């Protein structure tokens, strides 16, 4: 997690302080439940909270860990330093992973909520721009080649629909990860009761793992990292779209350029889509974290600790990168400078070639076999493209076309508005949120 690519909220979330504070919350929730159950003296949790709550010193815990080489034992030793005798009632019948995994669940849920907040910002920006550009005609391209017209609103609506699918995936992953365990060394409740687990976890906003081993099962975490990687891929798609639009030769839209911003140290004329390129790279990193998360699933027997080092790095890094990406993407969409005049110009770049399908279909409707019609149209199209003539004129001059299509019929095939007549319907359908995302 580096400052450059993370918000301070996420850095705080993954700080040592927050982690140890969360561990204490888990211990106290369990202790409170045990008090109610009668296995721990009433008032213990409250007394420990008074003496140790908000006073944990990460540096001291790390110092103790140097010696014990065990993080939770170091933490408990420190709590005992602060809270005295009452601390012996903590962690009763529990194993380290009861604390660690329940705490990880809490933190991952909090991180996912931040990410969902960012996703909502992106959704809002996409919706706004889709509404704004419902009828802004632009070239649709397949294979990088001009195909047929679309509207910019449709494009934004498409990203909106995809973002909603990512929201569904993230919500599912959030539910999967909102799980803890207080079930003892191998998950059998040998020295702790299921009732204590249920009550304590509920107080922490978590459900109990269905069947624990020593740990919460890692397919849950892999689902989250997978959802983040897929989210990242969708942001990358948006970023690559912007990078194409901003190309010198295309020029249809560009990133907002700040006051004082410099594009290149060597070339004063440049304005580069660096935010989008940055998002492209970050998406690669998110894919990179999904792979080790999948390898973390197959722990040995009731657990081995190989997942831990992966998660110490990937959990903060992947969540904070995803959070950062969404805020940046939302800002990118929000501030995107749209050059609709250039879009108009680009629509005309091929001299009407983009309407070739309509001509072909008009010929088919006159009774020509499809492949014959295709070849007739391709003939004029490739000539227009390679020799530079006007497509419609070439068609008119072709007796096989003119004998079948009177001038009016040909004009109809070249009508932009006809092409875009369903734009509102498409956009409404996407923005209405009625569809299963």
Given 264, 309, 393, 402, the catalytic residue: 264
Distances (CA, A) of 135 to 106, 344, 349: 45, 12, 19
Task: Figure out which of the listed residues 35, 61, 109, 149 binds its own copies, where binding follows CB under 8 A.
Answer: 149
Paired tokens of 88 = 């012996």
Q: Which of residues 265-294 bind its own copies (CB under 8 A)?
A: 265-274, 277-278, 280-285, 287-292, 294
Task: Figure out which of the listed residues 32, 136, 217, 319 binds its own copies, where binding follows CB under 8 A.
Answer: 217
- Residues 6 or more apart whose CB falls under 8 angstroms from that of 185 comprise 95, 214
Using a 10 angstrom Cβ sphere, with 0-12 exposed, 13-18 middle and 19 or more buried, the burial of residue 219 is middle
Nearer to its own copies (CB atom), residue 124 or residue 189: 189
Q: Which of residues 404-423 bind its own copies (CB under 8 A)?
A: 418-420, 422-423
Dihedrals φ, ψ of 366, to 5°? -80, -5
Task: Figure out which of the listed residues 38, 54, 59, 371 binds its own copies, where binding follows CB under 8 A.
Answer: 371
Task: Figure out which of the listed residues 46, 53, 58, 77 binds its own copies, where binding follows CB under 8 A.
Answer: 77
The pairing of strands 179-180 and 337-338 is: unpaired
Active site residue 96: no
267 DSSP assignment: -
Nearer to its own copies (CB atom), residue 21 or residue 374: 374
CB of 148 to its own copies, least distance (A): 5
Task: Figure out which of the listed residues 21, 113, 357, 390 binds its own copies, where binding follows CB under 8 A.
Answer: 357
Given 15, 78, 135, 143, the catalytic residue: 143
| Cα distance between residue 204 and residue 183, in whole Å | 15
Q: Contact, 96 vs 175, CB < 8 A?
A: no
CB of 199 to its own copies, least distance (A): 15
Distances (CA, A) of 415 to 145, 148, 352, 370, 418: 20, 11, 10, 22, 5
Nearer to its own copies (CB atom), residue 114 or residue 159: 159
Q: Of 24-32, 42-50, 109-117, 169-177, which segment contacts its own copies by CB under 8 A? A: 169-177
Paired tokens of 103 = 């705490």
Q: Which of residues 311-330 bind its own copies (CB under 8 A)?
A: 312-314, 317
Nearer to its own copies (CB atom), residue 55 or residue 168: 168
Task: Figure out which of the listed residues 21, 148, 400, 424 binds its own copies, where binding follows CB under 8 A.
Answer: 148
Nearer to its own copies (CB atom), residue 93 or residue 118: 93
Active site residue 265: no
The pairing of strands 145-151 and 179-180 is: unpaired
Nearer to its own copies (CB atom), residue 114 or residue 252: 252
Residue 186 touches its own copies, criterion: CB under 8 A: yes
Residue 393 touches its own copies, criterion: CB under 8 A: no
The full length of the chain comes to 437
CA 69, chain centre distance (Å): 36
| Cα distance between residue 385 and residue 299, in whole Å | 60
- Residues 6 or more apart whose CB falls under 8 angstroms from that of 259 comprise none
CB of 128 to its own copies, least distance (A): 16
Q: Of 22-30, 109-117, 344-352, 404-412, which segment contacts its own copies by CB under 8 A? A: 344-352
Residue 341 touches its own copies, criterion: CB under 8 A: no
Residue 188 touches its own copies, criterion: CB under 8 A: yes
| Cα distance between residue 295 and residue 220, in whole Å | 12
CB of 362 to its own copies, least distance (A): 10
Residue entry with tokens 């910002």:
121
Considering only CA atoms, which of 121, 111, 114 is closest in space to residue 328? 121
Considering only CA atoms, which of 415, 416, 413 is closest in space to residue 359? 413
Q: Which of residues 18-57 bind its own copies (CB under 8 A)?
A: none
Q: How many CB atoms lie within 10 A of CB 38?
A: 8
Nearer to its own copies (CB atom), residue 186 or residue 203: 186
Paired tokens of 127 = 């919706």
Q: Which residues are catalytic?
A: 143, 264
């Amino acid at each position: 997690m580096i400052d450059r690519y993370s918000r301070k909220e996420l850095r705080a979330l993954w700080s040592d302080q927050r982690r140890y504070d969360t561990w204490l919350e888990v211990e106290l929730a369990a202790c409170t439940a045990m008090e109610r159950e009668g296995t721990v003296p009433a008032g213990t949790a409250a007394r420990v909270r008074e003496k140790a709550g908000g006073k944990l010193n990460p540096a001291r815990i790390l110092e103790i860990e140097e010696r014990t080489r065990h993080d939770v034992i170091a933490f408990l030793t420190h709590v005992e330093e602060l809270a005295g005798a009452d601390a012996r009632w903590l962690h009763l019948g529990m194993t380290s992973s009861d604390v660690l995994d329940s705490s990880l669940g809490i933190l991952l849920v909090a991180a996912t909520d931040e990410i969902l907040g960012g996703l909502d910002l992106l959704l809002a920006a996409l919706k706004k721009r889709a509404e704004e550009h419902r009828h802004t005609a632009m070239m649709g391209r397949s294979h990088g080649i001009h195909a047929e017209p679309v509207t910019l609103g449709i494009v934004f609506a498409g990203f909106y629909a995809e973002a909603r699918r990512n929201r569904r995936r993230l919500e599912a992953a959030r539910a999967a990860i909102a799980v803890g365990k207080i079930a003892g060394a191998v998950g059998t409740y040998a020295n702790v009761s299921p009732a204590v687990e249920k009550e304590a976890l509920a107080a922490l906003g978590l459900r109990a793992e269905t069947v624990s081993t020593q740990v919460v099962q890692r397919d849950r975490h892999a689902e989250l990292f997978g959802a983040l990687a897929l989210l990242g891929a969708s942001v990358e798609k948006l970023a690559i779209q912007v990078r194409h639009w901003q190309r010198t030769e295309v020029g249809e839209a560009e990133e907002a350029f700040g006051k004082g911003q410099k594009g290149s140290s060597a070339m004063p004329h440049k304005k580069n889509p660096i935010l989008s390129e940055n998002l492209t790279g970050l998406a690669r990193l998110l894919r990179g974290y999904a792979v080790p998360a999948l390898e973390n699933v197959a722990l040995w027997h009731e657990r081995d600790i190989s997942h831990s080092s992966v998660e110490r790095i990937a959990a903060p890094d992947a969540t904070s990168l995803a959070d950062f990406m969404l805020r940046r993407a939302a800002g990118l969409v929000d501030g995107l400078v749209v050059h609709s005049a250039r879009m108009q110009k680009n629509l005309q770049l091929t001299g009407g070639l983009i309407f070739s399908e309509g001509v072909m279909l008009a010929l088919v409707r006159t009774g020509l076999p499809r492949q014959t019609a295709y070849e007739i149209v391709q003939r004029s199209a490739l000539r227009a493209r390679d020799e530079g003539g006007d497509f419609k004129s070439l068609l008119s001059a072709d007796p096989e076309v003119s004998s079948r299509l009177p001038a009016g019929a040909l004009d109809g095939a070249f009508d932009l508005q006809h092409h875009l007549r369903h734009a509102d319907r498409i956009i409404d359908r996407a923005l209405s949120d009625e569809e299963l995302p």
